[in-house]
Every structure is written in C-alpha cells, then in structure tokens.
Amino acid sequence: MSVESQIIIQKLKGHIEHIISKYELALSENISLREEMDKCKSELDNRNNRIKELEQKVEQMQLAEAFTASSEDVKEAKKRIAKIVREIDKCISMLND
C-alpha cells in the first residue's frame, strides 16, 4: 500500500471517529432532552390537575356563598343549581343511550 493510500485511510478513520463522536454526543443529548420533556409533561399534568381542583373549589365556594347571600344571590344560586341539574340530566341521558 502506498503512503498516499495510508494517509487517505488515516484521514477517513479520523473523519469516521469524529462523526461517531458527534453521533454519540447527539444521542446522549437526545436522551437527556427526552427525560426533561417527560418531566415537563408530568409537571404539566400535575398542574392541570391542580387547576381543575381549584376551579372545582371556586365553584363550590361560589355555590355555598350563593346560599348565604341576598335575594339577588339567591337567583344566582338557583341558576347554578339549574345548571348542575341540566348537567346531571345530560349524564343520565348519555348513560341511557
């Protein structure tokens, strides 16, 4: 084998090693990013669940407040109760279908 061929082969080996090194680095970064994404998704789910809980508490507090308030608030309470009854009726009709 000539000296030129050996030089070319050495350069190719160097390029291949460099490419493999970059690939391994990208693969490691990909794994790290996927783990971070999974963590963020989990945190987002937890926060969404917390938001739903707080919204339910707010609705319950508003409903409780409506029962202890003035006549204007009584009308609001009746509207809320009617809304809840309609939602229950929808659920029942969906179960019957």
25-52 pLDDT, tens digit each: 999 999 999 999 999 999 999 999 999 9
pLDDT at 71: 64
Q: Per residue in 3-26, pLDDT tens?
A: 898 999 999 999 999 999 999 999
Residue numbers of the domain that contains 51: 3-96
Domains in the chain: how many in total?
1
pLDDT at 67 > cutoff 80: no
Q: pLDDT-derived band of residue 59, with 50, 70 and 90 as boundaries?
A: confident
Q: What contacts 80, CB < 8 A, 6 or more positions away?
A: 62, 63, 66
pTM over 0.85: no
d(CA 80, CA 62): 9
User: Is the CB of residue 76 less than 8 Å from the CB of residue 66?
Assistant: yes
